[in-house]
Amino acid sequence: MIDNPDNFPIDTRNAALALIRQYGPDAQVIAMLRAAEFAALGDVGGLAAWDDIIACIEAYDSLGPVGGVVH
């Protein structure tokens, strides 16, 4: 389910937007790679944080271009 980006904590939104600005359409892939690294280490908290960032990126993607960030 795609959520409204405003429903995520500010840190999650900031991380998602930073990835979108830096990586454009590849932001979600980069976030998935980071999540996989935390999963491989068994870091459940880190994995959960990256899963939230991925969901937030998806939410921003569903809105189209956001705040001048086009990808």
Cα angle 8, 36, 60 (rounded to 5 degrees) comes to 30
| Cβ-contact 54, 31 below 8 angstroms | yes
| 70 within some domain | no
Q: What percent of the chain has pLDDT over 70?
A: 89
| 15 within some domain | yes
Q: Give the domain extent around 29.
A: 10-62
| 42 within some domain | yes
Q: How far is CA 17 from CA 14, 42, 52, 60, 65, in A?
A: 5, 26, 13, 8, 11
Q: What is the reported pTM?
A: 0.86
Q: What average pLDDT does this structure show over 16-21?
A: 96
| 2 within some domain | no
| 4 within some domain | no
pLDDT in tens, 23-37: 999 999 999 999 999
- Give the pLDDT confidence score for residue 12 in this predicted structure: 97
Q: What percent of the chain has pLDDT over 90?
A: 77
Domain count, the chain: 1
